[in-house]
Amino acid sequence: MRPKLYLARPFPDPVMAVIQEQFQLTVSPADHPPSAAEILAGVRDAQAAICTLNERMDAGVLSAAPALRVIANYAVGYNNIDVEAAKARGIIVTNTPDVLTNATADLTWALILAVARRVVESDQLVRQHQWTGWSPTQMLGVDLAGKTLGIIGMGRIGQAVARRAAGFEMNVLYWTRSERPLQPANPSWQRVSFEELLRRSDFLSPHIPLAPDTHHLINDAALRLIKPTAFLINAARGPVVDEAALVAALREGRLAGAGLDVYEKEPELQLGLRELPQVVLLPHLGSATAETRIRMGMMCVENVLAVLEGKPAPNRVA
Ligand code: DGY
């Protein structure tokens, strides 16, 4: 008898093939975020759940799932899961670290380059038949070489972003709460205080998990310390940045621009954000490459099978 799995969303085909072979699906997933009622119905008889960052797996959901033994989150961040409630019920929680590091770091750089060189504005100019030919003063951006990239949080993704900065001849500053030595430590990366990082960075990019102490870490006070020529990038979690304060800073010219992949209330955006041409807006694509999404799905399946077979979950977070 194959175990019952609640799968919140359809995954790429190679992952679906493995899932169909290994499990009985307790719901037939449709590609839209499930409602609270759909989640409750889905987990009711399930021994395992694979969910995405959109599904809130809170105490109410967990108490509706008496047979549930494991939740595999299809993301590295797991702020959508009430980990304490899971622990209390003996439910193991896993995530997908490492496999999405390069994809997320690459996307962070896509945003850095897009805001620095006004890629999206320029594309629109051409598409809208506004381009009348080469001009010495058209769509001027800023150089990256010699500029300072400030990284908040020096975990796997923060370090992968920092490594890529060498190719663009940028200086790297970072701030991290962790006391762990960096692996590998790069002698040219300089650790500074949070305030110094804000004051000195030309491009500022958080790569930290969302937790109560990182919620609105970049708030109005922080934004007021950033140079008016600097750009804010966010491919981590939306609520790390106070979006209303960000819109105010951009409108008032206290910040040169922003490249955002994540938002406080996805898929909604703070009023005014869409209207700002100096902002590049992506629909939460950090890990969205075919190879990465397949690896993430396979990792979820491995974790679920390990738990159901009584083995240690390779990517257990709680
Ligand atoms: C993550 O893993 O946290 C990403 O945001 C998913 O795309």
Residue 122's pLDDT band (cuts 50, 70, 90): very high
Residue 31: what pLDDT?
Answer: 82
Q: Is 284 an annotated catalytic residue?
A: yes
Residue 126, pLDDT above cutoff 80: yes
Residue 184, pLDDT above cutoff 70: no
306 vs 32: CA distance, rounded Å: 28
Q: Whose CA is nearest to atom 6 of ligand 1?
A: 75
Residue 27: what pLDDT?
Answer: 79
Residue 54: what pLDDT?
Answer: 93
> Could you tell me the two tokens for 189?
């990366």
Q: pLDDT digit string (tens) for 296-306?
A: 999 999 999 99
Question: pTM to 2 decimals?
Answer: 0.96
| Domain 101-281 = CATH 3.90.1150.10 | no
Residue 25: what pLDDT?
Answer: 92
Q: What is the mean pLDDT of the chain?
A: 96
Asked whether 81 lines ligand 1 (CB < 6 A), one says no
Residue 30, pLDDT above cutoff 90: no
Mean pLDDT of the region 73-96: 98
Q: Whose CA is nearest to atom 4 of ligand 1?
A: 75
**Ordered strands of the 70-73 beta sheet:** 24-25, 4-7, 48-51, 70-73, 92-94
Asked whether 162 lines ligand 1 (CB < 6 A), one says no
Q: Is 266 an annotated catalytic residue?
A: yes
**DSSP H helical ranges for 147-262:** 156-165, 194-200, 220-223, 243-251
Domains 4-99+290-308 and 101-281 share a fold: yes
**In the chain, domain spans:** 4-99+290-308, 101-281
**CATH number of the 4-99+290-308 domain:** 3.40.50.720
Asked whether 76 lines ligand 1 (CB < 6 A), one says yes
Residue 182's pLDDT band (cuts 50, 70, 90): confident
Distance 56 CA to ligand 1 centre (A): 14
Q: Is 224 an annotated catalytic residue?
A: no
Coil, strand, or helix at residue 50?
strand
Probe residue for ligand 1, chosen from 53, 262, 263 as the CB with the greatest number of ligand atoms within 8 Å: 53
Distance 74 CA to ligand 1 centre (A): 7
Residue 192: what pLDDT?
Answer: 95
Q: pLDDT digit string (tens) for 131-140?
A: 999 999 999 9
Mean pLDDT of the region 6-25: 96
82 vs 292: CA distance, rounded Å: 25
Residue 185: what pLDDT?
Answer: 72
Share of the chain above pLDDT 70, in %: 99
Residue 104's pLDDT band (cuts 50, 70, 90): very high
Cβ-proximal residues to 107 (8 Å cutoff; 6+ apart), any chain:
235, 261, 282, 285, 286, 288
Residue 112: what pLDDT?
Answer: 99
Distance 119 CA to ligand 1 centre (A): 24
Coil, strand, or helix at residue 272?
coil
Residue 201: what pLDDT?
Answer: 99
Q: What does the buried/exposed string (b/e) look like for 258-268 if buried means 16 or more CB atoms within 10 Å of the residue's CB?
A: bbbbbbbeeee
C-alpha 110 chain-centroid distance: 14
Q: pLDDT digit string (tens) for 255-285?
A: 999 999 999 999 999 999 999 999 999 999 9
Probe residue for ligand 1, chosen from 100, 234, 263 as the CB with the greatest number of ligand atoms within 8 Å: 100
Give the ligand 1 atom nearest the CA of 74.
2
Distance 282 CA to ligand 1 centre (A): 13
